[in-house]
A and B are shown apart, each in its own frame.
Chain A
Amino acid sequence: MSAGAPVETNRTAAGDRTRRARLAILLLAILLLATMLLSLASGASGASALVILRDLFGQADAEALRDRIIIYDIRLPRLLLGALVGAALAVSGAVMQGLFRNPLADPGLVGVSSGASLGAVAMIVLGPTMFGSFNATLGPLALPVMAFLGGLITTFVLYQVATRQGRTSVATMLLAGIALGALAMAVTGVMIFIADDRQLRDLTFWSLGSLAGATWSKIYVVGPIILASLAISPFLARGLNALALGEPTAHHMGIPVQKLKYAAIVSVAAAVGAAVAVSGGIGFVGIVVAHMLRLAIGPDNRYLLPASALLGASLLLLADAIARTIVAPAELPIGIVTALAGAPFFLWILLRKRGLLDL
């Protein structure tokens, strides 16, 4: 352009947070590794993670054998499931906030969570009578599958309601999501009303959230779904960045906006449906992680999304480690831990950084 002589610039130009973001991603990856090791080493039983080392050196006495079962069949699947769920919830939260251009959006808003809950509750209460054969065929997977379907169906209905002439209205979707969520909650309430005592107890534990039921078979079911959704997220990043300037501007900048919305909604619905299906209602991860990161590295989704996956996984593993050890040998539902730790922390961030969050 005819702006005269080239402008002198430093090597790290002002306002450029990419280096900080890359460093943060590196540190978060290290944090995740550390929390994984911690998670492997801690638990109700005294099993030592050193068993893995001992395995490598071929010493297998009886105690080592017991420890190996605890490590490989209990802690390892739980660790992987926790990391997957944490990453899924955090990335979904970040994607929803970008899509709805609203820092308060979380996966709960598009009805996935409430729909998934309804599916799970229906399975617990009506399962034995109404879905007998379904129950028998799928066994312990019946509940997660129903929850996943519940989440997906709710999201699909919402998408249809909000889409007119090929364009999805984000505002309509937000409002319809609140209405549909309330409806799902009401039906869930009816289920709770007709549930018997044992079912009630199952319901309560499921809704508080827990990773206690982690098995390898659950990982084989939800792992691919969550990993696929995480793998899509880098391709959404550029579009979500442009969307921060509004839908018309995103279109001006060459983003196929309708396709972007569709891909984002489907991937969030799948990931959150899968996460809720295996872990119940784990709150706050979806909304807090992206916020913390945005304050630290800025809102650029190219870095925000991978950083959210890493931090979400780490935080959930930490919360699970606390849930498992704080009242050992009993175990606190993880949803209580994330809410007890997440809510005050979130408030504290809001109070400190109010200026930056104001729009």
Chain B
Amino acid sequence: MIRLDDVSVAIGKRTILGGVTFEAAPRGLTVIVGPNGSGKTTLMKAMSGEMAYGGSITMNGYEVSKAESARQALMRAVLPQATALSFPFTVREIVNLGVLSGRSGVRGGFGFDLVEQALAAVDLQGFSGRFYQELSGGEQQRVQLARVLCQVWEPVLDGQPRYLFLDEPVSSLDIKHQLAIMETARGFADRGGGVIAILHDLNLAAMYADNIIVLARGRMVAAGSPRQVIRDSVIATAFECNLGVGKTPSGGAPFVLPQSFSP
């Protein structure tokens, strides 16, 4: 269980995030949405122990700000928005960094290769020998996700749930891989882990989230199930944009929703 109680973050004297309170339970997929600059990434940085915060954030009972990096790394893995790489690593070497950084929880038998398994989970079979720098942006993002998955491969370890923090995991992916990655995240939650993801696509959020947290100007403006949150009034307040939920385009203009996906 992850509990946030009145979390605030200040840079210098300016408070950029305040009054955030919610719980993220294992088996749940929590999606954070909000306009640019609303504090989504800041919130995730506080939760992953990168930024000092006020209030309290506990993960499986440990206060994040007091837990050592190594302990946090056993409980959660983090996919940042962008990862810069400074040396020519192969894809396998990158993913293997994830295997070595936490405890995958996997007992590898003969011929079992966690790196290949993880690459398969992000639809990158056969990429392990390639150089990371030679891949496209979307492929690089999926390699990073494979690395993150390896760190907490088993969603439950020693009876404790583990978590995936994903900051815009599908931002540079095509629609097929957006769905594939969301399915992978959903699967992680279904098997007992917890997922917290920042998304910009409200349709994907509505489709996969158990809980949606809406941030705007550093404040929580709504929280709840997709039905409770994805409403005209919430969207108008948070995004300052007049949209109609469930409204189809007039005049037969084509549109395609991720919800129409059939595996």
Q: Which residues on A are within 8 Å of B, measured CB to CB? A: 1-4, 6-9, 13-17, 101-103, 238, 241-242, 244-246, 248-249, 251-257, 294, 298-300, 356-359
In the bound complex, how far is the Cα of B120 from the Cα of A322, in angstroms? Answer: 53
Expressed in whole angstroms, the minimum distance between the Cβ of A206 and any Cβ of chain B is 34
On chain B, the residues within 8 Å of A256 by CB distance are: 68-70
Question: By the criterion CB–CB under 8 Å, are A253 and B101 in contact?
Answer: yes
Which residues does chain A contribute within 8 Å of B71, judged by CB atoms? 254
Q: Are the CB atoms of A251 and B50 closer together than 8 Å?
A: yes
Distance (whole angstroms) from the CB of B70 to the closest CB of chain A: 4
Q: Pick the contact of B73: A6, A7, A253, A300 (CB < 8 A).
A: A253
Tell me the minimal C-beta distance from B152 to chain A in angstroms: 11
CB–CB A242/B111 < 8 A: no
Chain B hits for A4, CB < 8 A:
120
Shortest CB–CB separation between residue A102 and chain B, in angstroms?
7
Asked whether B120 lies within 8 Å of A7 as measured between CB atoms, the reply is: yes
- Asked if B77 contacts A294 (CB within 8 A), the reply is no
Residue of B nearest to A294 (CB): B87
Q: B100 at interface (Cβ–Cβ under 8 A)? A: yes
Inter-chain contact B113/A245, CB cutoff 8 Å: no
The residue in chain A whose Cβ has the minimal distance to the Cβ of B76 is A252
Q: A15-B130, A300-B93 are in contact. Are A245 and B83 (CB under 8 A)?
A: yes
Q: Which B residues are closer than 8 A to A by beta carbons?
A: 45, 48-50, 68-74, 77-78, 80, 83-94, 96-98, 100-102, 111-113, 115-121, 125-126, 128-131, 133, 149, 151, 153, 184, 187-188, 191
CA–CA, A3 and B92, complex, Å: 18
Asked if B187 and A1 sit within 8 Å, CB to CB, the answer is yes
A-B contact pairs, 18 of them (CB 8 A): A1-B118, A1-B121, A2-B121, A3-B117, A3-B121, A7-B113, A9-B116, A13-B128, A15-B91, A15-B130, A103-B87, A241-B100, A248-B48, A248-B80, A253-B97, A254-B70, A254-B101, A359-B85
Complex contacts, A356 vs chain B, CB 8 Å: 88, 131
| Pick from A9, A15, A249: contact of B83, CB under 8 Å | A249
- Closest chain B residue to A16 by CB distance? B92
Closest B residue, CB atoms, query A254 = B73
**Contact pick for A299, options B68, B87, B151, CB 8 Å:** B87
**Quick check: A101 and B86 within 8 Å, CB to CB?**
yes
A52 to chain B minimum Cβ distance, whole angstroms, is 43
In the docked arrangement, what's the CA distance between A257 and B68, Å?
A: 11
Bound CA–CA A103/B89 (angstroms)? 13
Q: What CA separation (Å) do A241 and B120 show in the bound complex? A: 24
By a CB distance below 8 angstroms, the chain A residues around B116 are 7, 9, 13
Q: Are B117 and A246 in contact (CB under 8 A)?
A: no
For B151, what are the chain A residues with a Cβ–Cβ distance below 8 Å? 253
| A15 x B120 contact (CB < 8 A) | no
The residue in chain A whose Cβ has the minimal distance to the Cβ of B48 is A252
Those 9 A-B pairs whose CB atoms lie nearest each other, nearest first: A254-B73, A14-B129, A15-B92, A253-B101, A15-B90, A299-B87, A101-B86, A15-B129, A252-B78
Query: With the chains together, A244 CA to B89 CA distance in Å?
Result: 9
Contacts of B45 in A (CB 8 A): 248
Chain B residues with Cβ below 8 Å from A298 are: 88-90, 93
Which residue from chain A places its CB closest to the CB of B78 in the assembled complex? A252
Contacts known (A4-B120, A7-B113, A17-B93); A255 close to B128, Cβ less than 8 A: no
Give A101 to B87 CA distance when docked, in angstroms.
Answer: 8
Decide if B86 touches A252 in the complex (CB within 8 Å): no
B199 to chain A, nearest CB (A): 19
Q: Please name all residues of chain B whose beta carbon is closer than 8 Å to the beta carbon of A8 when the two chains form the complex.
A: 111
Name the residue on B nearest A6 (C-beta).
B112
Enumerate chain A residues within 8 angstroms of B131, measured Cβ to Cβ: 356
